[in-house]
Amino acid sequence: MDIVGSRKITFTIAIIVILAGLLAMPINAGMGKGILDFDVEFVGGTVMEIHIGQEFDINNDIRPIVIDITGDDSPQITRIDNQGVAIKTKSIDTKTRRELFDALKEKYQLDENEALLNAEDVSATIGTEMQLKAIKALVVASILMLIYITFRFKDWKFGLSAVIPLLHDVLVVLAVYSILRVPVNNSFIAVILTILGYSINNTIVIFDRIRENKKSVSRQELKELVNQSVNQTMTRSINTTVTTLLTITVLYFLGVPSIKEFALPLIVGLIAGTYSSIFIASPVWYMLSTKKTRTAKSQA
Amino acid sequence: MKVKSGLILLLTLVITGLMVFTAFYGFGVNHYLGADNIRLGLDLAGGVNIVYEADKENPTSAEMAAAKELIQGRLDRGNYTEAEVSIEGEKRLRVDIPGVDDPEKAIEDIGSTALLQFISPEGEVILTGNEVKDARRDVITDNNGISRPVVVVEFNDKGRDAFAEATQKYINQVIVIALDETIISYPVVEDVITTGTAFISGNFSIEEADELAARIKAGALPFKLNVLQSKSVGAKLGTDALNTSLKAGLIGIILVLLFMLIFYRVSGLAADIALIFYCGTIIVILSAMEATLTLPGVAGIILSVGMAVDANVIIFERIKEELNSGKSIRAAVDAGFSKAFSAILDGNITTLIAAAILFWLGTGLIKSFAQTLAIGIILSMFTALVVTRIIIKQFVNIGLKNPKLYCANKEA
């Protein structure tokens, strides 16, 4: 496969996916849903999941109770599987949470111990910190990886062209979060960093081949060298992705909601990571390398 | 040669079996090193997690330790025996209480203020923790020359005056010292004390005196604790999460085993044995480390299974290429492993960098994910480079030499 030659097409595909994700954000915001579905962990607030155990009407029955007790005019109340409800409000204290639960308990004769599936309250401070942490984690990880690869491959071009596709991966994952409205919570950072690690792992296997072929095959066209290396490692790239996808996909189909929220972006991210290491990383390295040769030639 | 290789192969299988057995059952009644011995996080066992922050700029580490002691004490008195309190960062306390039925009540219990009281024989409160400036352990020697540990309580100005007045009034009587309405000491007033310090003596050891001092100080906490974050998970939800994840893990592993066998034949069989070894060992390691397993942690393990196979895939593809270029099976296996090494090493180290940063920046659940991911990466490198290699070499030695078995295009 002529990876380097078809880079215009492969880059365009990547850009379209990324743009779709980026466009979804202002569209969502315009519809009043917020650019991403930030969980309380990222923006602060309280979320309670309660098992009602019978039919209920969110807008006529539950919403007025929530507004009355919490004083939050626009609580987000959603149905969760099997006659349950998730109530998301601004951050409220233990006493208010108790009152809210008691009110619902009275209305639906809830079980004292089992009806409250889970409750989470996060102050705005933690929310801001999480956002900063997410950015910090991304930046620090990218820089360290850049340094490590540059050091191991003794060539900054390898480092740079391994890190650029990571930007693609992050943006594609972000597109999943924005288009499919996957809640952005604690596991968001874990998902992103796992994908970065995985994607760069794939890239390194390919670059390792380029490094090796460069030594053994003398006087080879750079384009052929890159294409040959990518194709030699192609089966491995696909098989590895398939085995990882096997486990994570089973997890997605069988998992509880919190696992699904984790597995879905991971699945897309793994595919994006494989795509970028095959179709973006090597062509970028090729472009950086030929650019340098050209300048060297023109100076000579 | 054949016999020796057969024995090595058998030994590898026995060790693998032993690892899996240990992972399932562990040793002894406590299932030491077994899966049952792995502590489950709150999201799997159900429970409460609360993060408090000191309502004060730059609290000292002594103040934080006192606050930790305070919360731990309240939890103990509330019978939350498995609860854990840890200091996080400079001004935060994280409280984890597994397996509670009524999370909101636990939060309320911890939230109630600790109260140190000096109570007169008539039952009147003379002083409270608000008037305590410091409490520490000391050793005094009495008139008979016997040394014993005591707790020295130092009052502020207001407390000093009140205490002087009280000791004068109740001389030779008992003043009860209570913490959270539990009597912790009932000393007899022996002298009028005007210095603003009181000794609490009793039959306690040095450790007990230390603890009491810390608790009194905790009662006189110099700052308020605000709830920054609280999270509770019902026990049922936790159990469901664990069961489905385990089931998913099992199915995922079986699919991966099949995939490898179909795609890489004899090499795939070697990788499968190594993968089973890997799965058993990672559970034993987590159990030995007394790690707390959370839902993201389980996901990390399942993810690492897929990744564990990666190193094998790199090696097998390499062996296949070497065979296709006409090398003998032995030479191809050696070349496959040595040529794959740099890619495996570099790839895994960069993934480890990501895991390390997650561990550094993450809290609670994410730390657990980073931990299992990191262990998985290191262990998977070991199983691919050592275990798989041993098995494949023995396969070659006992006569499985047809390159087709190793996915080459042509026969030797």
Domain limit, last residue, from A77, A96, A122: A122
**For B2-41+234-406, which CATH superfamily applies?**
Multidrug efflux transporter AcrB transmembrane domain (1.20.1640.10)
- Rounded to two decimals, the pTM is 0.76
Model pLDDT, residue B411: 56
Q: How far is B257 from chain A (nearest CA, A)?
A: 9
**Domain of A243?**
7-32+126-295
**Mutate which: A51, A142, A201, A228, vs B, most B CBs within 10 A:** A201
Question: Residue A253: its chain B contacts at CB < 8 A?
Answer: 248
Position A14 pLDDT exceeds 80: yes
Model pLDDT, residue A300: 41
Contact A133 B361 (CB under 8 A): yes
Task: Write out pLDDT tens, residues B138-164.
Answer: 888 877 878 888 888 888 888 888 888
Intra-chain end-to-end CA distance of chain A, in Å: 34
What's the fold here for domain B43-113+225-232? Alpha-Beta Plaits (3.30.70)
Domain limit, last residue, from A122, A148, A168: A122
> Mean pLDDT in chain A?
86
Position A283 pLDDT exceeds 90: yes
ipTM: 0.80
Task: Give yes or no: residues A161 and A275 share one domain.
Answer: yes
Model pLDDT, residue A214: 87
Task: Write out pLDDT tens, residues A191-233.
Answer: 888 888 889 889 999 999 999 898 876 666 888 999 999 999 9
The answer to the question of residue A40 being in a domain is no
Domain B116-218 has CATH 3.30.1360.200: yes
Distance of CA B264 to the CA centre of its chain: 38
Question: Where is average pLDDT lowest: B54-58, B73-77, B250-254?
Answer: B73-77
Task: Read off the amino acid at residue A96.
Answer: T
Cα nearest neighbour of B247 on chain A: A254
Domain limit, last residue, from A91, A122, A153: A122
Question: Residue A136: its chain B contacts at CB < 8 A?
Answer: 361
Q: Touching check for B321 and chain A: CB below 8 Å?
A: yes
Model pLDDT, residue A209: 92
Residue B262, Cβ density class (10 Å: 0-12 exposed, 13-18 middle, ≥19 buried): exposed
Query: Strand B92-98 and strand B84-88: pairing?
Result: antiparallel
- What's the domain count of chain A? 2
Mean pLDDT of B369-374: 86
CATH classification at residue A190: 1.20.1640.10
Q: Touching check for B55 and chain A: CB below 8 Å?
A: no
Task: Give yes or no: residues A279 and A187 share one domain.
Answer: yes
Q: What residues does CATH 1.20.1640.10 cover in chain B?
A: 2-41+234-406
Task: Give yes or no: residues A117 and A145 share one domain.
Answer: no
Q: Touching check for A223 and chain B: CB below 8 Å?
A: no
Backbone dihedral angles phi then psi of residue A118, each to the nearest 5 degrees: -165, 160
β-bridge partners, A48? A87, A119
Task: Give yes or no: residues A175 and A254 share one domain.
Answer: yes
The answer to the question of residue A300 being in a domain is no
Backbone dihedral angles phi then psi of residue A75, each to the nearest 5 degrees: -70, 150
